[in-house]
């Protein structure tokens, strides 16, 4: 009987508060995905200073199962060029709007990720492609 009460209590908590997230802080920093799934990350400051579409297109064409995640607070002009890239390369994308996603200069604005763990040592685009 006690297990049944615990099960009902857990269901009520899930109904009221939603399902608990695995690593919620990490998901908030990474636009809803996990760090180990990220191929490249572009921060707000990097997105506003440079056009990374050429680099992203080269990386996207190497693998078939990537998707792009965009922070919804990114400037619409900048966001538009990356959406056009995703459409041109026929890659799925999502614009993520959440009050929990960070928006400072070093927060993730654009993320190229897979649906499985990639475990890249370096995901920052500026560090992986410093010549650009």
Position 18 scores a pLDDT of 67
Assigned domain for 68 exists: yes
Assigned domain for 3 exists: no
For residue range 38-61, list pLDDT tens digits in order.
Answer: 999 999 999 999 999 999 999 998
Residue with tokens 């857990």: 10
DSSP 35-80: GGGEEEEEEHHHHHH---HHHHHHHHHH-SS-EEEEETTS-HHHHH
Assigned domain for 102 exists: yes
Q: Kindly compute the dihedral angle of the four CA atoms of residues 85, 91, 94, 95, in this order, to the nearest 10 degrees.
A: 0
For residue range 78-94, list pLDDT tens digits in order.
Answer: 999 999 999 999 999 99
23 Cβ neighbours under 8 A, 6+ residues apart: 34
Is the pLDDT at 22 greater than 80? The verdict is no
The count of domains in the chain is 1
Is the pLDDT at 4 greater than 90? The verdict is no
Assigned domain for 62 exists: yes
Domain housing 89: 22-128
Query: Residue 28's domain is classified under what CATH number?
Result: 3.30.1330.30
Assigned domain for 47 exists: yes
CB atoms within 10 A of CB 95: 14
Q: Rounded to an integer, what distance in angstroms lies between the CA atom of residue 52 and that of residue 8?
A: 50
């Amino acid at each position: 009987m006690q297990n049944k009460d615990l099960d009902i209590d857990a269901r009520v908590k899930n109904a009221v508060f939603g399902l608990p997230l695995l690593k919620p802080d990490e998901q908030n920093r990474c636009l809803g995905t996990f760090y180990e799934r990220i191929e490249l990350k572009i921060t707000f400051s990097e997105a506003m200073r440079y056009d990374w579409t050429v680099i992203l297109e080269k990386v996207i064409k190497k693998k078939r199962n990537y998707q792009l995640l965009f922070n919804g607070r990114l400037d619409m002009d900048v966001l538009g060029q990356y959406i056009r890239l995703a459409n041109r390369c026929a890659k799925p994308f999502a614009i993520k709007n959440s009050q929990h996603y960070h928006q400072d200069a070093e927060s993730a604005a654009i993320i190229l990720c897979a649906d499985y763990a990639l475990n890249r040592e370096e995901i920052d685009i500026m560090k992986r492609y410093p010549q650009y």
